[in-house]
């Protein structure tokens, strides 16, 4: 609990074979006990199964009916269900031209996504329906989606439910309140974050990290306003393509829009004078706060908000510079990821290629896509290709991260853009005097500070690495006689640039220690007359690691090393431990 060292979230991947089997049984059970639901399709992943039904007529299914469905599926299984694969086909129910695998379960038809492996040895012994919601594959169609998890034993389900309740404790929304990091308020508006002092410390640390990265990459920081005339949004195309997410206001007969992206502002900097091929690359960065009016139901804690700060950057490049830039950015992304200890299976890298509708020439696309691909490969990163999923203006690489509940969120992104340079008529003068169009790269390493912060809060369950911790050390006097010394220690640490406080209240030392642990403070320094006499501290790290009577100077030195190297571990206490 409170004393555990920072550890990455353990995601429990579910058994897909059992869940596929359960998905089929659920459909057969529905035909039996809920005939107003007609199965239309089903899919399975490491978070369970999802089954879609068309609702023929009558009431929306209730939670109780959902549970009954789960029970029926298990009882069908226990009385010996027969499951037979009967081939794949174009979907005749949906007429969506989706490929589905068809099965017969006890003689009735059931569907599953093609390629899903169905367990045929073990049996489905426990099913839990987690959610019944609407699924709209198209604007006109509405299906009932039943989501659940299945196990081959009651024990499996019990363990899963325990994991779920543990995952809830890591939830950044819960921890954000408990650790006094940020809040949302009805009177402010949904999706708009208020950062408290401690949350702002984390924000600032993340921004400081990216400032260093930007410096290495050669990005110069700029600052642009939050509101631009609609004229600009019309040129950029946002006014037409992004309008439904923009906040627009008419003032004195003129229309303005709050920025949903930072790029147009940076483009104006490029355009502010004529550029030579010698000037390129030009790289601009901004911690730009943008506003996007996401639909109500899409908002989700810090992971999906309406106002957020991007660690944005735009590079204006000659075509031959594109690949090096991508590679350099990817390297820095990998460096940043290493600071947080994300494991391979906790991130997903995607390369999205040319969609059906696109601008620019095929040759440009091929070159840019190839640049992205070879950059990833040369760095040995694992990735998946999403064919045709690129933006209309260019191909892109996205990095997705998993939250405590196993959901994926897009954070880092590198996008090649042929469109905006064209729309804004960007040019540079080539060595032969001809005018050429630069290529733009949009990139964000954290993506948004908000989303990234949420991911790491969950990753560490609030027990952040010391360099990120809002309070790095709490000094606790174990005897009243040591109060002054405790204050002195805290003051010294502050003078040395650490975030330290002395806890001088009238409570017992035990209570203060407990509280400091609960708040995730990485170092608790205990001082009494003994320490005061010799100018030392007793250091307690996370996980009940304690080293007694460390000279304060030595602790400061060790802490400085830990913080400046942005150590993932509690390097200071490791270094101080007697060997």
Which are the catalytic amino acids?
263, 292, 310, 312, 314, 396, 442
Q: Is the peptide bond before 222 cis (omega within 30 degrees of 0)?
A: no
Q: Which is nearer to RNA, 23 or 305 (CB)?
A: 305
Contact in structure between 154 and 124 (CB atoms under 8 Å): no
| Residue 112 CA to its chain's centroid (Å) | 29
Give the tokens for residue 277: 């091929």
Applying CB under 7 A, does 395 fall inside the site for RNA?
no
- The span of 293-301, 417-425, 429-437, 495-503 binding RNA (CB under 7 A) equals 293-301
Q: Could you say whether residue 294 binds RNA (CB under 7 A)?
A: yes
Helix axes 16-33, 63-78, angle to 10 degrees: 110
**Nearest-angstrom CA–CA distance, 244 and 231:** 17
Number of chain residues interacting with RNA (CB under 7 A): 82
Among 203, 304, 463, 499, binds RNA (CB under 7 A): 304
- Cβ proximity to RNA, 141 vs 222, nearer residue: 141
Q: Which stretch binds RNA (CB under 7 A): 32-40, 70-78, 508-516, 556-564?
A: 508-516
Structure tokens at 354: 């040319």
Residue 495 to residues 353, 491, 499, 503, 573, Cα–Cα distance (Å): 52, 6, 9, 17, 21
Q: How far is the CB of 568 from RNA (least distance, A)?
A: 19
Can you tell me whether residue 148 is helix, strand or coil? strand
In the range 412-451, which residues lie near RNA by CB under 7 A?
412-413, 444, 447-448, 450-451
Stretch that binds RNA, among 20-28, 80-88, 222-230, 510-518 (CB under 7 A): 510-518
**Judged by CB under 7 A, does residue 313 bind RNA?**
no
Residues 229-288 that bind RNA (CB under 7 A): none
Minimum distance of RNA from residue 82's CB (angstroms): 30
Q: Is 295 in the site for RNA (CB under 7 A)?
A: yes
Would you say 100 or 538 has its CB closer to RNA?
538
Nearer residue to RNA within complex by CB, 121 or 197: 197
Nearest to 217 by CA among 293, 129, 327: 327
**Interface of this chain with RNA, residues 187 to 216, rule: CB under 7 A:** 189-191
**Of 96, 130, 379, 568, which one interacts with RNA (CB under 7 A)?**
130
CA distance 110 to 146: 14
Other beta carbons within 10 angstroms of residue 311's beta carbon come to 27
Q: Which of 60, 274, 345, 388 binds RNA (CB under 7 A)?
A: 60
In order of 213, 382, 400, 519, 538, the CA distances from 348 in angstroms are: 21, 8, 5, 31, 42
Select from 56, 240, 250, 296 the one that contacts RNA (CB under 7 A): 296
First to last CA, the chain: 27
CB of 283 to RNA, least distance (A): 18
Q: Of 114 and 425, which has the nearer Cβ to RNA?
A: 114
Task: Tell the smallest beta-carbon distance from residue 180 to RNA (Å).
Answer: 10
Applying the rule CB under 7 A, the residues between 529 and 558 that interact with RNA are 529-531, 538, 540, 542-544, 546, 548
User: 132 or 457: whose CB is closer to RNA?
Assistant: 132
Report the phi/psi class of residue 111: left, alpha or beta, with left for phi > 0 and alpha for psi in -120 to 50: beta
By CB under 7 A, tell whether 511 contacts RNA: yes
Q: What number of other Cβ atoms are within 10 A of residue 53's Cβ?
A: 23
Of 298 and 430, the one with the shorter C-beta distance to RNA is 298
How many Cα atoms within 13 Å fall on the side-chain side of residue 189?
8
Q: Which of 111, 184, 358, 418 binds RNA (CB under 7 A)?
A: 184
Residues 6+ apart with CB under 8 A from 244: 293
Return the structure tokens found at 460: 């560490």
| Nearest one of 307, 292, 311 to 238, comparing CA atoms | 292
């Amino acid at each position: 609990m409170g004393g555990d060292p920072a550890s990455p979230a353990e995601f429990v991947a579910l058994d897909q074979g059992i869940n596929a089997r359960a998905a089929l049984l659920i459909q057969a059970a529905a035909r039996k006990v809920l005939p107003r639901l007609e199965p239309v399709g089903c899919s399975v992943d490491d978070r369970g199964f999802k089954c879609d039904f068309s609702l023929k007529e009558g009431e929306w299914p209730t939670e109780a009916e959902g549970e009954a469905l789960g029970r029926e599926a298990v009882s069908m299984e226990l009385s010996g269900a027969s499951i037979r694969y009967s081939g794949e086909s174009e979907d005749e129910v949906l007429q969506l031209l989706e490929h589905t695998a068809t099965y017969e379960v006890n003689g009735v038809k059931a569907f599953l996504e093609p390629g899903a492996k169905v367990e045929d040895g073990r049996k489905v012994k426990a099913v839990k329906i987690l959610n019944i919601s609407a699924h709209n594959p198209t604007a006109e169609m509405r299906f009932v989606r039943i989501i659940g998890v299945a196990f081959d034993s009651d024990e499996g389900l019990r363990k899963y439910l325990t994991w779920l309740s543990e995952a809830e404790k890591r939830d950044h929304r819960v921890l954000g309140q408990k650790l006094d990091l940020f809040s949302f308020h009805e009177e402010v508006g949904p999706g708009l974050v208020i950062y408290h002092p401690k949350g702002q410390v984390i924000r600032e640390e993340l921004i400081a990290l990216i400032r260093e990265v930007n410096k290495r990459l050669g990005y110069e920081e700029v600052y642009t306003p939050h509101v631009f005339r609609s004229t600009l949004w019309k040129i950029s195309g946002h006014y037409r393509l992004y309008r439904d997410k923009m906040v627009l206001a008419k003032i004195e007969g003129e229309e303005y829009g709050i920025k949903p992206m930072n790029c147009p502002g940076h483009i104006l900097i490029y355009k502010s004078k004529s550029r030579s091929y010698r000037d390129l690359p030009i790289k601009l960065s901004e911690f730009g706060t943008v506003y996007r009016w996401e639909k109500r139901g899409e908002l989700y804690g810090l992971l999906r908000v309406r106002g957020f700060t991007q660690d944005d950057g735009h590079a204006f490049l000659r075509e031959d510079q594109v690949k090096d830039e991508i590679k350099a950015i990817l390297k820095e992304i990998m460096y940043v990821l290493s600071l947080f200890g994300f494991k391979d299976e906790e991130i997903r890298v995607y390369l999205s290629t040319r969609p059906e509708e696109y601008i620019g020439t095929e040759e440009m696309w091929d070159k840019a896509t190839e640049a992205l691909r070879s950059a990833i490969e040369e760095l040995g990163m694992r990735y998946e290709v999403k064919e045709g999923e690129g933006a209309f203006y260019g191909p892109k690489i996205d990095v997705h991260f998993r939250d405590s509940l196993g959901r994926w969120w897009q954070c880092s992104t590198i996008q090649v853009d042929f469109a905006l340079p064209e729309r804004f008529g960007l040019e540079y003068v080539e060595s032969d005097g001809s005018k050429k169009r630069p290529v733009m790269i949009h990139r964000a390493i954290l993506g948004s500070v908000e989303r990234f912060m949420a991911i790491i809060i969950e990753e560490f369950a609030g027990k952040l690495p010391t360099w990120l911790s809002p309070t790095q050390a709490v000094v606790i006097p174990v005897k009243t006689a040591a109060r002054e010394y405790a204050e002195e220690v805290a003051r010294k640490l502050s003078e040395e640039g650490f975030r330290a406080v002395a806890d001088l209240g009238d409570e017992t030392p035990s209570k203060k220690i407990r509280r400091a642990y609960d708040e995730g403070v990485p170092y608790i320094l205990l001082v009494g007359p003994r320490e005061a006499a010799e100018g030392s501290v007793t250091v307690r790290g996370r996980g009940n690691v304690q080293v007694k009577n460390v000279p304060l100077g030595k602790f400061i030195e060790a802490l400085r090393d830990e913080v400046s190297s942005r150590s993932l571990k509690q390097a200071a206490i490791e270094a101080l431990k007697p060997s």
